[in-house]
Amino acid sequence: MGDSPDAHSKENLEAKEPSPEQSAKEKPVAKTKEGKEKKGKEDKDDKGRTSIGLGLAGIGGQAKAAPRFAPTYRLEPKNPLRKERLEIIIKAEMDKNYNEEYTFHPKHSLLMAAQVSEDIKTRIKALNFDRYRYIVLITVGEFLMQGLYSLANFLWDAEKDGYVNYTIETPKFFAVCTVFYIYFD
């Protein structure tokens, strides 16, 4: 009771003003209109680096947990890929789109090649070959007294992975479709 009001104000000031080391370690806190404390988006890790962002949850809320499956220890696919069926699909789509009526135009050919590759990939995926991933590559060019060389190197399992190639050549243009199929364990 014998304390003077000046003693209380000094203690309150010391309690309210943190030391420089404490303020550097604390996260910024702001109060909202409701009086609740709101943490800032700025976080510091244990090395003092600042990161600003939404985190792993993203904008939509909580992140979806990836489904976990028990290992099957199966090395062979249940529905193995048949190369002949791929060749039939590729030949049908390429002959339908790159026939004698087709004329090469740089902008139009780009869009058409993208659409044809997507159609081929969709038709192959509809066959439901088990555990395969596909890459469809279409190259279209105009014959103007030039040559074209193409090279691709791979590191894959020769028993399960492979490719199918189909080429159309006319006096005005050429179109090459290559589908790579890669087995995914």
Query: Is the pLDDT score of 145 beyond 90?
Result: no
Contacts of 54 (CB under 8 A, 6+ apart): 41
Average pLDDT estimate for 56-81: 74
> What span, in angstroms and rounded, lies between the C-alpha atoms of 158 and 8?
82
For 89, the enclosing helix (H) or strand (E) is helix 83-97
Q: What is the average pLDDT score of the chain?
A: 78
Higher pLDDT, 74 or 93: 93
Per residue in 38-61, pLDDT (tens digit) is 454 455 556 565 555 444 544 555
**Domain positions in the chain:** 5-52, 83-183
Question: What's the CATH number for 83-183?
Answer: 3.30.1140.40
Confidence of residue 13 (pLDDT cuts 50, 70, 90): very low
For 18-53, give the secondary structure using H, E and C: CCHHHHHHCCCEEECCCCCEEECCEEECCCCCEEEC
Average pLDDT estimate for 26-36: 51
